[in-house]
């Protein structure tokens, strides 16, 4: 099965955004470009999105978080500030 609906260079309109990724197939690379102190990428494996957890991510760049996900997931929650950008590939 191939990936569908790649989402690149999207902008946060507030401090938190939840994206439905039930139609996307692993592996996924999730990126958040942010310098906010409380920035985070969290994932949920349930469609209700009620059990978000931190998948662990690379922080080698001071303005970017990158998570490599090798399982199918249902939701991604981005936390940052308005105008931060995110991508899911």
Query: Please, which residues bridge with residue 82 across strands?
Result: none
On the 0-12 / 13-18 / 19+ scale of CB atoms within 10 A, 12 is buried
pTM reported for the whole predicted model: 0.88
Domain locations in the chain?
7-88
Distance CA 7, CA 82 (A): 18
Q: Retrieve residue 23's tokens.
A: 């139609």
Position 1 pLDDT exceeds 80: no
Position 4 pLDDT exceeds 60: no
User: Among 7-16, 18-27, 61-70, 73-82, where is mean pLDDT lowest?
Assistant: 7-16
Position 8 pLDDT exceeds 80: no
Position 6 pLDDT exceeds 80: no
């Amino acid at each position: 099965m191939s990936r569908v609906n790649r989402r690149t260079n999207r902008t946060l309109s507030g401090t938190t955004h939840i994206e439905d990724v039930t139609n996307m197939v692993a592996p996924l690379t999730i990126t958040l470009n942010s310098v906010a102190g409380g920035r985070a990428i969290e994932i949920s494996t349930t469609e209700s999105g009620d059990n978000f957890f931190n998948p662990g991510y690379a922080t080698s760049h001071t303005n970017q978080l990158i998570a490599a996900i090798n399982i199918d997931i249902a939701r991604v929650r981005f936390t940052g500030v308005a105008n931060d950008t995110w991508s899911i590939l």
